[in-house]
């Protein structure tokens, strides 16, 4: 198992990759982002969590997910939209949102043999899980979660939602990675 832990005002978030075999090279990075937001909106912080895979052998049943380790929130909800699968958590001080590409967006950039025939995403109170497609030997691919938060009372309605709605190509560009 490969993991990356980040700290947020609502506690630690642990990002995991399950099911990795020795023939799969995994890179998991936190990439600071300055997302494009509508005029007048701002956030306190935004990070892209980038998973990059290089398969020297076929890989099946890989899962990329995150879990909030603490319960420092009062409420949570699903906040997805077109091309975005996202969850938000709030307490009296902070809103935290984490999102990723939805099935339609993933299928638009994946090779034909990796396209999903079902929704690979699931969520519960503590996080989101993405089941990765079966990968052939020689496959190189990447997946993402975007994390954003803002403190109240300055929090602006929708700012975190816009912040986590990052195109995968833009995250790769920020990281300096080839598509």
Q: In this structure, what are the phi and psi dihedrals at residue 141, rounded to the nearest 5 degrees?
A: -150, 170
Tens digits of residue pLDDT in 138-155 = 999 999 999 999 998 766
CA distance 83 to 64: 18
- Measured distance CA(20)–CA(23) in Å, rounded: 8
- CA torsion sign for 130, 22, 5, 52 is negative
DSSP states along the chain: -EEEEEEETTEEEEEEEES--TTEEEEEEEEE------TT---SEEEEEEEEEEESS-B-S-EEEEEE-S---SEEEE--BTTEEEEEEE-SSEEEEEEEE-HHHHHHHS-GGG--SS--EEEETTEEEEEPPPB-TT-EEEEEEEEEEEETTT--TTHHHHHH---HHHHHHHHT---
Question: Of all residues in the chain, what percent carry a pLDDT higher than 90?
Answer: 82
Instruction: Encode pLDDT of 16-55 as tens digits.
Output: 999 999 999 999 999 999 998 999 899 999 999 999 999 9
Distance CA 64, CA 115 (A): 16
Torsion sign across C-alpha atoms 114, 115, 119, 122? positive
Kindly indicate the confidence band of residue 157, based on its pLDDT and cuts at 50, 70 and 90. confident
Residue among 175, 178, 179 at smallest CA distance from 50 = 175
Task: Look at residue 81 in the predicted model and tell me its pLDDT.
Answer: 87
């Amino acid at each position: 198992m490969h993991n990356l832990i980040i700290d947020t005002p609502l506690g630690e978030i642990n990002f995991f990759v399950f099911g990795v075999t020795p023939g799969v090279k995994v890179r998991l990075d936190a990439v600071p982002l300055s997302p494009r937001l509508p005029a007048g909106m701002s956030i306190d912080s935004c990070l892209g969590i980038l998973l990059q895979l290089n398969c020297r052998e076929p890989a099946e049943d890989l899962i990329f997910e995150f879990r909030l380790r603490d319960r420092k929130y009062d409420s949570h909800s699903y906040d997805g939209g077109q091309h975005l699968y996202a969850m938000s958590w709030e307490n009296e001080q902070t809103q935290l949102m984490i999102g990723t590409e939805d099935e339609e967006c993933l299928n638009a950039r994946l090779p034909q043999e990796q396209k999903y025939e079902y929704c690979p995403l699931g969520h519960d109170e503590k996080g989101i899980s993405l089941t990765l497609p079966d990968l052939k030997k020689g496959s190189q691919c990447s997946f993402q979660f975007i994390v954003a938060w803002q403190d109240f009372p300055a929090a602006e309605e929708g700012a975190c939602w816009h912040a986590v709605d990052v195109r995968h190509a833009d995250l790769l560009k920020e990281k300096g990675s080839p598509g």
